[in-house]
Amino acid sequence: MPEETVNSEVVDNGLQETGRATSENSLEMVMAQLEQSDPTIFNKLSPAHIDKILDQRSTIIEKVHTDRKDERWDNKFYLIVVLGFTIIVLGFVGWKLPEYFSEAISALLGGTGGIGVGFGLARKK
């Protein structure tokens, strides 16, 4: 689609009226998506439409950020639970069965290495 059909004046006015700063790349992506759906849509765009598109995009970005933040906290919680359980088991083995403590440490290190190799191979695929 030639650039002349994009009403850049409407786009510029819409961004200035809202006072929002947005990257050109983000705006180009939105415009490309709109062009794929209906090439004549650029003649119908108003500043209110652009505001709505940018609001929706901002909401989506905010929700994705929140989900990632929550996922990091979940992963930290799981790590703390696993480490706590491991320390309790090693403490129990060291206290009740000190002759098996070195074997428990060897099993822990071997399991940790196996988990590391498994994650490495999974990421490689």
What is the residue range of 12's domain? 3-124
For 2-59, write each residue's pLDDT tens digit.
444 444 554 454 444 444 445 556 667 777 776 677 667 667 777 787 788 888 888 8
Structure confidence at residue 9 (pLDDT): 52
pTM here is: 0.50
Q: For residue 68, give both structure tokens.
A: 């990632």
Best CA proximity match to 18, nearest among 52, 44, 43: 52
**More confident: 10 or 124:** 124
Number of neighbours of residue 14 by Cβ within 10 angstroms: 19
Q: What are phi and psi of 103, to 5 degrees?
A: -70, -35
Number of structural domains the chain divides into: 1
